[in-house]
Amino acid sequence: MSYLEKLFNFNGQVAVVIGGTGVLCGEMAEGLAQAGAHVVIAGRSEERGNARVASIEAKGGKASFAAVDAMSKQSIQELCDKTLVEHGRVDAVINGAGVNSATPYFDIEEDEFNKIIQSNLNGTHYACQVFGKAMIDAGGGAILNIGSVTSFLPLSKVFTYAASKAAILNLTKNVAREFATQGVRVNCLCPGFFPAEQNRKILSEERIADIMRHTPMDRFGEAEELIGATLLLLSKTAGSFITGEAIYVDGGFTSMTI
């Protein structure tokens, strides 16, 4: 095994990717599988989950699908219990389920606001509680919460989403502090603008021009460009002293002013 393989070796490990049925977390799951982990693709859509499993297996990786409602702590507990029964361990968890909306601020209804907070923030909190406890009991692990460039500063048009992602970063730091002496690391990966399902809905030509003016690399990200940061933050070797941190994979978006 080469030096780099030792740094990013996930052989024999089990990674649960909540939201792995989506585009971005699905690619992150593919990266973990290629690094040697058995990946549990967790989400609502069995069809998309099984498609991702098939993609991973076609490349020689190991994966399985498990249904989960990220807005339900009971469902997340059932996911954790099932994973432990079937695989005997959980080494890494990605909390990537999420909902977005571009509803104008004064038109945001209570139900919409609550749904986004429940999915994005509460779901991340539930998974940190459930899987964090299991990892502590087992002697260690790593959790990767998915934030956003809106974790750094607010972004127009996505008011509730931005508030939820800012809260996820704060939650990450707090939970990282709580778990730090118990062998569990907790970090936050904050993507910039990727052509995934959620942000396609609000990307008018004017919006795209605004984003590019604020992105030094002058392009959108590709989903596979999230894999490197994912492996670093979840690796027991390469990321062993990293906790409570946020890594922005955004083409320089958060470093730009004028």
Domain borders along the chain are: 3-255
Given a cut of 70, whether residue 196 has pLDDT beyond it is: no
What does DSSP assign to residue 192?
-
Instruction: Evaluate if residue 199 carries a pLDDT over 90.
Output: no
Say yes or no to pLDDT of 68 above 90.
yes
Closest CA to 179 of 126, 230, 128: 128
Better pLDDT: 154 or 38 = 38
Q: What is the mean pLDDT of residues 93-119?
A: 95
Q: Which fold has domain 3-255?
A: Rossmann fold (3.40.50)
CB burial class (10 A; 0-12, 13-18, 19+) of residue 82?
middle
> Which of 95, 77, 204, 86 minimizes the C-alpha distance to 144?
95
pLDDT of 247 > 80? The answer is yes
**What pLDDT shows up at residue 47?**
97
For the chain, the average pLDDT equals 95
What is residue 93's predicted lDDT score, i.e. its pLDDT? 98
Give yes or no for residue 198 having a pLDDT over 60: no
The pLDDT of residue 155 is: 86
Q: Hey, CA dihedral for 112, 49, 29, 63, is it positive or negative? A: positive
Distance between CA atoms of 237 and 184, rounded to whole angstroms?
Answer: 13
The answer to whether residue 158 scores a pLDDT higher than 70 is: yes
Give the mean pLDDT of 35-43. 98
State the pTM of this model: 0.95
Annotate 156-186 with b (16+ C-beta within 10 A) or e (fewer): eebbbbbbbbbbbbebbbebbeebeeeebbb
Tell me the three-class secondary structure of 17-72, residue by residue. Answer: EECCCCHHHHHHHHHHHHCCCEEEEEECCHHHHHHHHHHHHHCCCEEEEEECCCCC
CA distance linking residue 256 with residue 134, whole number of Å? 40
